[in-house]
A and B are shown apart, each in its own frame.
Chain A
């Protein structure tokens, strides 16, 4: 049951990314291109997602167990760090260069795009490099 729910959540997330236009890097870059023919569509993705998830997280913050009696695992960090700022800035730069963030790249990989595979492999190397440099 738990496994079916988790797989379904991933599937619904992926379908949402496809329908929203997030899996098209050209559309993502059109959203980031404020100085060109700006396409604000992707702001509606975030709006739609937050309108729904806000209520789910309100419940999650108030409880310690899920509807399946699983422990709720929420991030504990609340302080600002330079890593948060610098890391997010590096991510934004990469996002704009390719038009891919992690979720849409994985969905496009599932659709069989060779260029998505190249991006995802580089992303995994970047993640492993961080793990190696900072967590050992």
Chain B
């Protein structure tokens, strides 16, 4: 537990909660990032409004590192996975989140906050395979 950072993680979590709250209270949308990204890939017969809020929310995510760097050194993202593993993982995350209607943000934060049983099931499913695959990856293979 040498890397245990409960305070930073709690503060970060509170900010994520504030963001999800702003989006639902003012804009009326769920902060489900996989759904937002996938909807930007739909090109047919969508009004301009379909893209604007989603594009702006993703732009905010992309800008976060720049804004953070203005105040403090940006924490390093240690990405140990190889290129081929990243490709397989990305395909699984992209396909899986669409099939399962959400990811850690949509189900794990927003869904659980609104006490959705579907999101509870989804969260238990992705946590379960997350633990299993991690075990296989680090301790078996």
A residues sitting closer than 8 Å to B (CB atoms) are 2-3, 5-27, 29-30, 32-57, 59-61, 65-68, 70-75, 77-80, 83-113, 115-116, 118-131, 134
Q: B19 and A10: CB pair below 8 A?
A: yes
Contact residues of B between 95 and 136, Cβ < 8 Å to A? 95-105, 107-114, 116-118, 121-123, 125-135
Q: A13 and B128: CB pair below 8 A?
A: no
Contact of B67 (CB < 8 Å), options: A11, A46, A97, A131: A11
Contact size range, B: 35 or more
Q: B59 and A90: CB pair below 8 A?
A: no
Q: Given the known A-B contacts A10-B59, A73-B28, are A46 and B108 also in contact in the complex, defined by CB atoms under 8 Å?
A: yes
Known: A18-B65, A60-B25, A122-B90. 15 other contacts (CB 8 A): A5-B22, A26-B79, A30-B3, A36-B139, A39-B4, A40-B4, A41-B6, A41-B8, A48-B13, A48-B17, A56-B113, A89-B128, A93-B130, A102-B33, A118-B86
Q: A109 and B62: CB pair below 8 A?
A: yes
Give the CA-CA distance A120 to B37 in the complex, in Å. 10
Give the CA-CA distance A129 to B103 in the complex, in Å. 17
Q: A9 and B13: CB pair below 8 A?
A: no
Q: B93 and A24: CB pair below 8 A?
A: no
Q: B77 and A113: CB pair below 8 A?
A: yes
What is the minimal beta-carbon distance from A113 to any residue of chain B, in angstroms? 6
Q: B117 and A37: CB pair below 8 A?
A: no
